[in-house]
Amino acid sequence: MSQSQIAIEQRTCRPLTTLSEDEQMFRASVREFADGELRPRVDEMEEHAKLDPTLIKQCFDLGLMGIETPEEYGGAGATFFTAILAVEELSRVDASVGVLVDVQNTLVNNALVRWGTEEQKQKYLPQLATQKVGAYALSEAGSGSDAFAMQTRAVEDGDHFVINGRKLWITNGNEADIFIVFANANPEAGYRGITAFVVEKSTAGFSVGKKENKLGIRASSTVELILEDCRVSKEDVIGEIGKGYKVSIETLNEGRIGIGAQMIGIASGALDAALSYTTEREQFGKSINQFQGVQFQLAEMATELEAARLLVYNAARMKDAGQNFVKEAAMAKLFSSRAAERISSKAIELFGGYGFVKDYPVEKFWRDSKIGAIYEGTSNMQLQTIAKLMIGK
């Protein structure tokens, strides 16, 4: 029996939300870190719209920045599902740190592990696993859902490419030292000219521009990148010249499961807060969770969260088992982002007036949830993907 068959059989023999002993231990360790080290810093990071550098270092020290990276390159050599658990647990406390770890693992590291040359892996993966943050630069002002309409150009010049253009909405941009940058090296070929490059922050002609002032995930930096005659060696092409479209599509398919994990983390944090508050809050002489109307709302929130978690876990298990998971990843992201927004919104209502002020946590969960319907593929794009795969076109 192949490893994929074994994984599939194991997955079908127990509920998707039932974790192995190793997975339980890992989840517990991340939760302990999130509650003990992350939670006390959330308000300050939110206020200053900046991640605490000490916290980032701790993420490296705990091995959270190279979860799937093979051990020979300094990583933990764990499964994709393990990375999903980390993103979920961190996002239960703060989605900004959740997306820091998510982008590092599911996009940047993943692109290098799958598409990088051996030299690139040896050069970059150990740094990304132990000390340097990565970022993934695909979007531009005029190419969001239509990602392949990008205007950033890469012109061949001897042993180098000269890249000119601007990237927008780049997560981790302020913290990152290593960037996966997409540019078109042959515009006449359309999307088949798109090529992926590794670009270091210190490269001449590369700079970080404006940092966006956002509704949610405020501590996570979202920035513009500026490339002006940025010279990148041909040795830093990821995959083949003109194959960047394939790198981006296949990487983002996995990234969507990571965003799904972020969303169920947000929803879980909001539900936990609502359960705690409705136990403590008294009206008419008893806790408000003793009223049937409140109980029904909590039950609906819990049911929706569990459904979202099953979708996310299923997609992650399928990926690890070597199955085609594209449709399931789109479903997981679509449903979990909607669930996170609804659950966090209902939590605000259960808090009453307190839910509307920043002294209590639930308004932040709602603000953080909104991005789930937008980045790494909008909800409409997920619907399009699901429909096409259903009807076979």
Mark whether 154 and 230 lie in a shared domain. Answer: yes
Contact indicator for 244, 236 with CB cutoff of 8 Å:
no
CATH of the domain at 26: 1.10.540.10
Picking from 133, 150, 180, the residue at the C-terminal end of a domain is: 133
- Whose tokens are 């194959």? That residue is 243
Picking from 109, 133, 157, the residue at the C-terminal end of a domain is: 133
Q: Is 376 an active-site residue? A: yes
Mark whether 142 and 215 lie in a shared domain. Answer: yes
CATH of the domain at 223: 2.40.110.10
Mark whether 260 and 187 lie in a shared domain. Answer: no
Measure the CA angle with vertex 299, ends 298 and 300; round to 5°.
90
Mark whether 178 and 218 lie in a shared domain. Answer: yes
- Whose tokens are 């969260």? That residue is 305
| Domains in the chain, number | 3
* Tokens coding 53: 């550098």
Of 7-21, 155-169, 329-343, the one with minimum mean pLDDT is 7-21
Residue 118, exposed/middle/buried by CB under 10 A (0-12, 13-18, 19+)? exposed
Whether pLDDT at 8 is above 70? no
Mark whether 85 and 196 lie in a shared domain. Answer: no
Whether pLDDT at 326 is above 90? yes
DSSP calls for 150-219:
---EEEEETTEEEEEEEEEEEETTTTEEEEEEEEES-GGGGGGGEEEEEEETTSTTEEEEEEP--SS-TT
Q: Which position among 89, 175, 224, 376 bears the catalytic label?
A: 376
The pLDDT confidence band at residue 9, using thresholds 50, 70 and 90, is low
Per-residue pLDDT averaged across 54-82, rounded? 98
**Per-residue model confidence as pLDDT tens digits over 211-231:** 999 999 999 999 999 999 999
**Per-residue model confidence as pLDDT tens digits over 147-170:** 788 999 999 999 999 999 999 999
Mark whether 11 and 84 lie in a shared domain. Answer: yes
Picking from 133, 167, 198, the residue at the C-terminal end of a domain is: 133
Q: How far is CA 2 from CA 8, 9, 217, 283, in A?
A: 10, 11, 41, 59
Mark whether 387 and 266 lie in a shared domain. Answer: yes
Parent domain of 177? 136-242
Mark whether 149 and 102 lie in a shared domain. Answer: no
Whether pLDDT at 15 is above 90? no
Mark whether 157 and 294 lie in a shared domain. Answer: no
CATH of the domain at 382: 1.20.140.10
Reported pTM: 0.94
Whether pLDDT at 16 is above 90? no
Whether pLDDT at 355 is above 70? yes
Instruction: Give the pLDDT score at 17.
Output: 78
On average, the pLDDT of the chain sits at 95
Whether pLDDT at 332 is above 60? yes
Per-residue pLDDT averaged across 317-341, rounded? 98
Mark whether 92 and 26 lie in a shared domain. Answer: yes
Mark whether 106 and 152 lie in a shared domain. Answer: no
Instruction: Give the pLDDT score at 14.
Output: 61
**Per-residue model confidence as pLDDT tens digits over 358-385:** 999 999 999 999 999 999 999 999 999 9
Mark whether 384 and 262 lie in a shared domain. Answer: yes
